[in-house]
Chains A and B, each alone.
Chain A
Amino acid sequence: MSTSAIFEPLRLPNLTIKNRILRSSTGGRWDAYDGSGTQTRINWDLKTARGRVGAIISSHAPVHPRGRLLPGYALIDRDDRVPFWRELVRRVHEYDCKYIVQLAHAGRERIIGGFEYPTGVSSTDEPEPLNGFRCERLTTDGIAQVIAEFAAGARRAREAGADGVELAGANGVLFTQFLSSAINDRDDEYGGSLENRARFALEVVRAVRAEVGKDFFLGFKISIREHLDEILPWLDEGNSRDESLQVCKWLEEAGVDCIHVSTGGEFPHPRNPAGDFPTKEVVKTYDGLISNGMYTFRNYLVFRWWPLNAIWKWHWEKPSRKGVEGINLEDARAVKEAVRIPVICTGGFQTASVIAEAIETGACDGVTMARSLIANPDLVRWFERGHDRAPRPCTYCNKCLFNFVENPLGCYDDRRFDSRDEMIREILSVYEPVPEPVAA
């Protein structure tokens, strides 16, 4: 099968990308605790820009410190953050690669909340169910404030020269917490009916449009299915596909340029990133989360002790046992049939023929990748040279995911390297070049 479809430009409203491969939002804890950006994040993003992806979606960029998933990520919450983002975008552009800033608010999904704000905010005041992260219910005024923060974040991204923004609406963060029938328990105009639950997202979209105009790319990432019952069987599964399709239609009407299809009403989720539950790595890094939630100590004991950890691993890996690559394509195809705007899709992509087929059969217009590019930052180059897959593909072992809490993000599957030393060298290469000492 010809894979030429991958190399055709992706024409999105307000943004044309040189090929069909985008780096999905991925980033380690490279930045300062307060959210000021560093040279290391620039180095990290340049790895994939150099590898010839068409566009990079930034790591989640919180629009307020209370909305970060964990410290060590560059924020876009103040105007004095703009110089960092401008430098990052400028450097990525040198590789003919587009840069999209992902505007985010974690809500209650704060893996490490940090010392500044003891609790997160959410649509509800119920704690997050797996780890027990506590939160406060947003008031109507609080909602209006968060909406304004998103609009200001979008303006800053545009001022920094970015090619667009994506709203992080998937994977259990604040947008999901409003959209989800399983989470949102409000009885005001932001809860109850689907229309009410979608109000927050739609108001953010309209506020962003009012702030940056119509001619700036605006994407929305959404979990079409939440599958919350796959994490804990006693939870409601969350929104149905039809409900999410309706939300996508409303988003399109409100001015969204592209839907980015993901899955799962929590992060991580058995379907995202789909694959292994690497028990040994989890025990090593989840310990640092024990103080963050009401159920984290219980979870730690489950992950630590056999046979509890073996049962959990079996349970976690069940949804992805049929295959990881393209796990969301069915949902993407349904979205594509429901809306006129382009659709991009994430989920373990790393095989050229699989991607080309997805595009040619109309399941999506492009794909986004995270782990596959951590394993092979130059994956697109392999595709260009006619390889269907990189010689050492991502194994979906998810060790990257669980290491990044404590250690530098990178591929920790030592089977993919000639030696452990080589793996460590590759992981630490993100610190080259050394940041220039900056004189005042």
Chain B
Amino acid sequence: MSASVIFEPLQFRNLTVKNRVFRSSLAGRFNNYDGTGTRVHINWDLKFARGGVGAIISSNAPVHPRGLIVPNYAHIDRDETIPFWRELVQRVHEYDCRYIVQLAFSGRQRDLGGIQYEKGWSSTDKEEPVHGLACERMTIPQIKELVQRFADAARRAREAGADGIEIHGCNGYLITQFLSPAVNDRKDEYGGSLSNRARFPLEIVRAIRAEVGSDFHLQFKITGVDYGDDLFFWWSKGTKIDDSIQVCKWLEEAGVDGFHVSSGNSFPHPRNPAGDFPVHDVVRGYDTMISSGSHTFRNYLIFRYWPFNAIFRWLWRRPSRGGVEGINLQDARAIKEEVSVPVICTGGFQTASVVAGAIERGDCDGVTIGRPLIANNNLVELWRSGVDRPERPCTYSNKCLINQIENPLGCYEESRFDSHEAMVSEILSVFEPPQFASP
């Protein structure tokens, strides 16, 4: 099968991307604790711009420090952050690569909440169920305030010269906490019926449109299906595809230019990033989170001790046993059939023929990639040179994911390298060049 469709431009209403490959939102803790951006973050994104992706979706950029997931990500919460984003966008543009800022708010899903705010905000006041992360139920004035903060952040992204924004509406973060019937227990106009649960994201979209106009690219990342019962059958299933399709229709009416389909109502989730549960690495990285929640110590013991960790790993891997690559294509197709704007899809893509097949079948218009690009920064260039799959593909070991809590984000799958030293040197290459270098 020809992979040429991958290299055809993708046209959105307000944005044209040179090919069908986006780097999905991902980054390590490369910035300052207070959310100011650093040179290292720029180095990180340039790796992928250089590697030939058509567009980069930024790491989650909290619109307010209360909405961070872990500290040390670049925020877009105040005007002083604009020069950093401007510099980053300008450098990425040098590679004819588009830059989309992902506006985010974690809600109750704050893996390391940091020193500023003891609790996150959510639709509910119930703890997040996996780690037991505490939260406060947002009042209506707080909801209105946050809607405006999304709009302000969108304005900053535009002022910084970004090519568009993505609203982080999936994976268990705040917008999922409103959309999902498994989480949202409100009795007011933001809870109950689907239209009430969708009110918050719709208000965000309208507020952003009011702030930045209709000629600025705005895409929405959504969880097609919550799969809330993937790990434990007694947990509520949450949002099903029909509800998500309806929400997408409303979002399109409100002014969304594209959808980015993911899955799961938590992060991480057995389907996202789908693959292994690397017990050894988890035990090393999860310890830092013990102080974050009320279930974290229990979880740590489960991850630490056999046979609990073996059972957990078995449960975790079950949903992706049918295959990781393209795990969300069915959901993407279901949404694509019902909306008229382009749909892009995430989920382990790293084989040119699989990607080209998905686009040609009409499952999606483009793909977004996280882990396989960490493993092979130049994946798109490889495809262009005729390679269907890299010689050393991503193994979906998820070691990158768990290491990023304590260590620089990178590929920690040693089997992909000639030696430990080669792996270390590749991981540390993100620090070149340093902020203070010889003139």
Q: Using CB atoms and an 8 Å cutoff, list the residues of chain A in contact with chain B.
A: 32-34, 36-40, 80, 82-84, 87, 112, 114-116, 283-285, 287-291, 300, 403, 406-408, 424, 427-428, 431, 434-435, 437-440
Contact = CB atoms under 8 A, between A and B. Distances in A.
Contacts of B34: 408, 428, 431
A36 B435 contact: yes
Interface stretch (B127-135, B185-193, B286-294): B286-294
Nearest to B81: A434
Contact of B435 (A116, A403, A424, A438): A438
B121 interface: no
A434 B284 CA distance: 32
B33 A408 contact: yes
B38 interface: yes
A33 B408 contact: yes
Contacts of B115: 403, 407-408, 424, 427
A283 B285 CA distance: 16
A316 B42 CA distance: 45
A83 B36 CA distance: 22
B431 A33 contact: yes
Contact of B436 (A37, A287, A300): A37
Interface string B394-433: 0000000001001110001000000000001001100101
B287 A287 contact: yes
A36 B42 contact: no
Given A40-B32, A82-B438, A288-B287, 4 more contacts: A33-B408, A84-B436, A288-B288, A290-B290
Interface in B23-80: 30, 32-34, 36-40, 42, 80
B407 A83 contact: no
Nearest to B35: A431
A438 to B, nearest CB: 5
Contacts of A40: 32
B283 A287 contact: no
Contacts of B284: 291
B210 interface: no
B87 interface: yes
Contacts of B386: none
A435 B406 CA distance: 23
Contact of A34 (B38, B88, B300, B431): B431
B338 to A, nearest CB: 42
Nearest to B421: A116
Contacts of A32: 30, 38, 40, 431, 434-435
B16 to A, nearest CB: 27
8 contacts: A32-B431, A33-B407, A34-B431, A38-B32, A83-B437, A114-B407, A406-B288, A407-B33
Given A83-B437, A439-B87, A115 B403 contact: yes
B36 A435 contact: yes
B433 A435 contact: no
B116 interface: yes
Contacts of A431: 32-34, 36
B83 interface: yes
A116 B406 CA distance: 12
A287 B301 CA distance: 13
B109 to A, nearest CB: 19
A200 B40 CA distance: 37
B437 A80 contact: yes
Contacts of A112: 406
B438 to A, nearest CB: 5
Nearest to B94: A440
A87 B387 CA distance: 46
Given A32-B40, A80-B438, A287 B84 contact: no
A285 B290 CA distance: 9
Interface residues of B, number: 46
A236 B58 CA distance: 54
A49 B412 CA distance: 41
B283 A291 contact: yes
A38 B288 contact: no
Contacts of B436: 36-37, 83-84, 87
A243 B33 CA distance: 44
B161 interface: no
B278 interface: no
Contacts of B403: 115
B301 to A, nearest CB: 10
Contacts of B319: none
Contacts of B283: 291
B83 A36 contact: no
A440 B434 contact: no
Contacts of B290: 287, 290, 300
Given A290-B287, A407-B115, A434-B84, A80 B434 contact: yes
Given A408-B33, A431-B33, A440 B287 contact: no
Given A284-B291, A287-B287, A427-B115, A83 B438 contact: yes
B435 A39 contact: yes
Contacts of B37: 437
B255 interface: no
A406 B111 CA distance: 13
Q: Which 4 A-B pairs have the closest CB atoms?
A: A437-B87, A36-B434, A288-B288, A287-B290
A434 B434 contact: no
A290 to B, nearest CB: 4
Contacts of B427: 115
A112 B287 CA distance: 12
A435 to B, nearest CB: 6
B362 interface: no
Query: Which of B112, B290, B435, B438 has the largest number of chain A CB atoms within 10 A?
Result: B435
B291 A287 contact: yes
B274 to A, nearest CB: 24
Contacts of A82: 438
Contacts of A84: 434-436
A32 to B, nearest CB: 5
B114 interface: yes
A283 B36 contact: no
Query: Which of A37, A290, A439 has the largest number of chain B CB atoms within 10 A?
Result: A290
Query: Which of B39, B80, B403 has the largest number of chain A CB atoms within 10 A?
Result: B39
Contacts of A114: 407
A99 B412 CA distance: 38
Contacts of A435: 32, 36, 38-39, 435
Contacts of A288: 287-288, 406
B116 A437 contact: no
A136 to B, nearest CB: 15
Nearest to A114: B407
Contacts of B288: 287-288, 406
Contacts of A408: 33-34, 115
Contacts of B83: 434, 437
B94 to A, nearest CB: 9
Interface string B168-198: 0000000000000000000000000000000
Contact of B291 (A36, A80, A283, A439): A283
A437 B36 contact: no
A285 B427 CA distance: 25
Nearest to A74: B436
Interface in B341-378: none
B407 A438 contact: no
A284 B42 CA distance: 31
Query: Which of A87, A300, A437 has the largest number of chain B CB atoms within 10 A?
Result: A437
Nearest to A291: B284
A407 B114 contact: yes
Interface in B250-302: 283-285, 287-291, 300
